[in-house]
Amino acid sequence: MRRIAFLCLTLLLTCLSAGHVAAQSMGSTYSSTAPKDCRQIGKPSELDGSTRVCPGKNGLIVLIAEDDLREIVSVGRNRKAAAEEPAAKVWFAPFNSSEATVEWRSAGTKPFAMIQRWHIADSTDPDKQGRPNTKAMLVVTRLPPGPVCHVAYVDAIANPTANELARKAADDFARSFTCGKDVVKIVGTRGRAVELATIR
């Protein structure tokens, strides 16, 4: 009788564990940082750039600030919190911009990382008008609880499966990444965009 009870208990715990794993399954949702979907802070200026706050997921907002043709993107519960995160203090040296689609990686319903495509200007590759062509890169950023910072870069041109690589990097590294201590990981083949983004 005890053996039957033990087997029943083991089966029950196995089912509960499987249910918990299913509930914590990884997935992606999306939001927009397009100006029409965000709140503009102040008036945009050629000298001072622009700042906007965009709705994110699970009570988070996305802060985008542009100055001198360079952007920062950060996340927080509000504008002030986002502006104080490590991600708000990271500037790529070349001119750059981020795309309007944000991919949120979540375990169950809680996002733990975001993925966004960036374009980094390459001054050594001018177009017909003499303006620099841009090179695409995916940036993986860890989310609260804990600091918000860049976790991984994936060159979108050098890696045909860049989106999959970025999702795996988010799933594998974001939650255990220590901002200010761990070095941002270069995932996949290192291409020109990553080379430009890591110029110091």
Domain ranges for the chain, please list them. 27-197
Instruction: Express each pLDDT in 84-116 by its tens digit.
Output: 999 999 999 999 999 999 999 999 999 999 999
Least Cα distance to 190 among 154, 163, 164 occurs for: 154
- Residue whose token pair is 């001018």: 126
The answer for residues whose C-beta is within 8 angstroms of residue 150's C-beta and 6 or more apart is 87, 90, 139, 140, 141, 184
Q: How far, in Å, are 64, 131, 135 from residue 194 at the CA level?
A: 21, 20, 9
Instruction: Express each pLDDT in 156-191 by its tens digit.
Output: 999 999 999 999 999 999 999 999 999 999 999 999
CB 173 within 8 A of CB 185: yes
CA 20 to centroid of chain Cα atoms: 26
Residues in the chain, total: 200
